[in-house]
Amino acid sequence: MTTLRSPASPHAPDRVRPVRVALVNDFELVLRGIEGMLEPYKDRIEVVELDVRGNPTSRIDVALFDTYGQPQGTERVRSLVADPRVGAVAVYAWRLAPAQVEAVVAAGARGVIDKTMHAPELADALVAIDSGETVVSPEFCNPVGAHWPGQAFGLTVRESEVASLLLQGLSNREIAESLSISEHTVKTHLKGIFHKAGVSSRGQAVARIAGEHDFRRRAAR
């Protein structure tokens, strides 16, 4: 397994077409943000699918699986690796313990990419993965420059995960099941979200957090 501190791939052969990439996660809001990051590099990276709650439907070179709000990440990696339409799988995460990195690599992921990477580095990493390299970021931590829904209001990563599920219209029980936490914990997180966002209802929270994240996504383009 090769760990690349700089994901650039100077020895990769020249390509006659961009790397065809599918973005995979259960939440469209998350995928739209990554799509916006990669749009300036469309000469090398072609985002051909946004796969919400499913695997790619066409042949692609790299499936970039964002683990945000995904408690069963390793199983999803195995599903993508086993899919004959997928050339390679890369995991995209904010924080991973060494054991988790080993688990997703053992499941077949060719890339494990830290979200602290800037957009051009992410594009380089995807090209390197498509060329056959294994790209594993040396550190996984809370990103300083990355943005997630509700960050402007001071939401933690876990609160943001709850917020993203809230944006999808899930009930407290469904949020709890998705994140493998109790409904009581969900209620505690929601209280924190409402307080930090300055709202008093689920509808107000959805409107404010979605609006803030969409603004940041457009500004990043």
- Concatenated DSSP letters of 112-175: EEETTS-HHHHHHHHHHHHTT--EE-S-----SS---TTGGGT--HHHHHHHHHHHTT--HHHH
For each of the domains in the chain, give its residue range(s) and CATH number, in order of start: 19-136 (3.40.50.2300), 151-220 (1.10.10.10)
Answer for the pair 12, 131: CB distance below 8 angstroms, yes or no: yes
- 14 or 218: which carries more pLDDT confidence? 14
Here the tokens at position 28 are: 């469209």
Residue indicated by tokens 């409402």: 194
With a cut of 60, say whether residue 143 has pLDDT above it.
Answer: no
pTM beyond 0.75: the answer is no
- The span from the CA of 221 to the CA of 200, in Å, is 32
Alpha-carbon distances of 93 from 16, 148, 173, 194, rounded to whole Å: 30, 12, 25, 26
Asked if the model's pLDDT at residue 104 lies above 80, the reply is yes
pLDDT band at 141 (very low <50, low <70, confident <90, very high): very low
